[in-house]
Structure 1
């Protein structure tokens, strides 16, 4: 019998979606602008809720928000009433409007020749920040860098991008590695 992989405390779960997200996505550097927009949008939806709730609705979010294609989502303002009636997603008007707004901002960046990937990764000089976490209780809910990034993103027109949301996004997108030191994913990120 094979030994179970050691995961971060929050990844040690019987929930397949949570475990797969931990093992295959969280903290792994992403340079795909569509994926980064998806992660930002999911973190916005997660604010004040559990991550498991968001993961359970992820497929419905993808369907409702055109697979997070920012070019399509930026045009969705007329669909807000329909989105707010969709019981498969989190129906928070401010969050839905923020996602549509953020798609517009990403489209404006692209029109000026700046990819969302390059925009985001510039905050960490294109190099993931590695925190040496030995226990999940050491993980901060925000940092000075996340506060700076949040402030700049708001100045650039992004919405619902407070420092806690932004730090969670940084973790999800791999800008920050907050996997625990003995987590098998942390060890693969060293390779």
Structure 2
């Protein structure tokens, strides 16, 4: 097997091979993944990957400093954008999460320092066989999601948080036979 079984489309394969499970330490990349994961909740990751460039354009390159000030008028504009997931609750979480992200940066020096402290600054590597079910949440994702909510983040429960941890490379869940693990 060349890669994990879930990576079927060309877009999925590119994301899988170049990003997923690889440690991300740049705050800008972590913020982008956080926003994309909150948009993905309840949808396929392929759907979000296909809309990623639309999000980059609509959200000014995922700039949390600008996004934190998005008001109802801006949110309504985003909700009319057919290139985005037009879910009102998810859309309203974007500026709230930008503000919380910036507050965490200020408190910890970087979002990276905050997030990676939960795993002792080391990627957790799991070894799942092909077809074996990876968890959708863990005690770690429950702990981080709870802390993030306490810090003002929204639309980030334990399942979304686990997917975020995988995307950001804090957890490496590549299947054991995957050459990208």
| TM-score band w.r.t. shorter chain | over 0.9
- Residue 10 of structure 1 pairs with residue 36 of structure 2: no
Contact 2:108 2:114 in 1 (8 A): no
Secondary structure at the aligned position of 1:72 is classed as: helix
What is the alpha-carbon distance in structure 1 between the residues aligned to residue 28 and residue 136 of structure 2?
25
- Residue 37 of structure 1 pairs with residue 31 of structure 2: yes
What is the correspondence of 1:1-191 to structure 2 with a 5 Å cutoff? 6-11=2-7, 13=8, 15-77=9-71, 78-112=73-107, 114-186=109-181
Secondary structure at the aligned position of 1:6 is classed as: coil
Greater than 2 Å deviation, 4+ residue runs: 109-114, 135-138
What is the alpha-carbon distance in structure 2 between the residues aligned to residue 115 and residue 56 of structure 1?
29
Give the drift of 1:109: 2.3
Q: Which runs of 5+ in 2 are unaligned?
A: none
TM-score, normalised via structure 2 length = 0.95
Q: Which runs of 5+ in 1 are unaligned?
A: 187-191
What is the alpha-carbon distance in structure 2 between the residues aligned to residue 136 and residue 177 of structure 1?
16
CA RMSD in angstroms, aligned pairs only: 1.2
Task: After superposition, give the CA deviation of every residue in 1:85-133 in whole Å (9 maximum; x if it has no partner).
Answer: 1111011111111121110011122333531111111111111101111
Secondary structure at the aligned position of 1:179 is classed as: coil
